[in-house]
Amino acid sequence: MVKCTLSLVMYNAGVLTISDKGSRGERADESGKVIMNLLAAAGITVARYEIVPDERKLIADTLTEWADEYNLEMVVTTGGTGLAERDVTPEATMSVIEKTVPGLAEAMRAKTFSISPTAILSRAVAGVRGKCLIINLPGSPKGVKECLEVVLPVIPHAIDTINGRITEHEPSHTGSHKNAN
């Protein structure tokens, strides 16, 4: 229902692929392409796209720039959420978000666990910086697809709440008592 009233609003998103090999041009970014296709199919415009290495400061700086200067309404990252030494995407993301949205990461892990048990090892986080929703996805094309499909249905509601476009009291229960206030 919410989605009906909001389907006229266009969202601008960024896709940030975090991969040492990808950033050196040594591997094609299949996961980034999967995200772009899924976002396009959901009517979301991909306004920024970049591949950066697994460097915490660089990831944090890119997220900050995209949220603060390009005013993107959403950034989706892929890669760097695992247990390898250089996997630092969650830490970089936590350092720039102002509010965590733990349920998005919990739901992605819980729903994909039955398909791929190792999905529970993803340390992905999600949160809000200013007016920008930031969501970490895992690194593999399969993981990206499975996880994004879990959260995609609630993303319009999330973005519109962040931006104050949902001003009526919703029948859903995202926790807000607020109307226009």
Subset of 5-64 contacting a copy of itself (CB under 8 A): 17-22, 27, 31, 54
Q: Which helix (H) or strand (E) holds 171?
A: none
Phi then psi for residue 28, to 5 deg, are: -70, 145
Report the nearest approach of a copy of itself to the CB of residue 123 (Å). 6
> Segment contacting a copy of itself (CB under 8 A): 6-14, 56-64, 66-74, 135-143?
135-143
**Structure tokens given for 113:** 């666990």
Binds a copy of itself (CB under 8 A): choice among 81, 96, 129, 135? 81
99 sits near a copy of itself (criterion: CB under 8 A): yes
Q: What is the dihedral of CA 177, 97, 68, 61, to 10 degrees?
A: -170
Residue closer to a copy of itself by CB (options 40, 106) is 106
The one among 60, 66, 82, 129 contacting a copy of itself by CB under 8 A: 82
Q: Which is nearer to a copy of itself, 12 or 78 (CB)?
A: 78
Q: Does 109 bind a copy of itself (CB under 8 A)?
A: yes
User: Considering CB under 8 A, how many residues would be counted as binding a copy of itself?
Assistant: 77
Q: Which stretch binds a copy of itself (CB under 8 A): 5-13, 34-42, 59-67, 140-148?
A: 140-148
Closest by CA position to 123, among listed 77, 87, 95: 87
Q: How far is the CB of 41 from a copy of itself (least distance, A)?
A: 18
- Contact between 67 and a copy of itself per CB under 8 A: no
Tell which one of 10, 45, 110, 149 touches a copy of itself (CB under 8 A): 110
Dihedral Cα 80, 86, 91, 97, nearest 10 deg: -50
Residue 70: which H helix or E strand, with range? Answer: none
Strand order in the sheet with 99-100: 44-52, 11-18, 74-78, 132-137, 126-129, 99-100
CA separation, residue 82 to residues 15, 27, 137 (Å): 18, 18, 10
Asked if residue 175 binds a copy of itself (CB under 8 A), the reply is yes
Q: Is residue 73 close enough to count as binding a copy of itself by CB under 8 A?
A: no
Biggest CA pair distance of the chain = 51
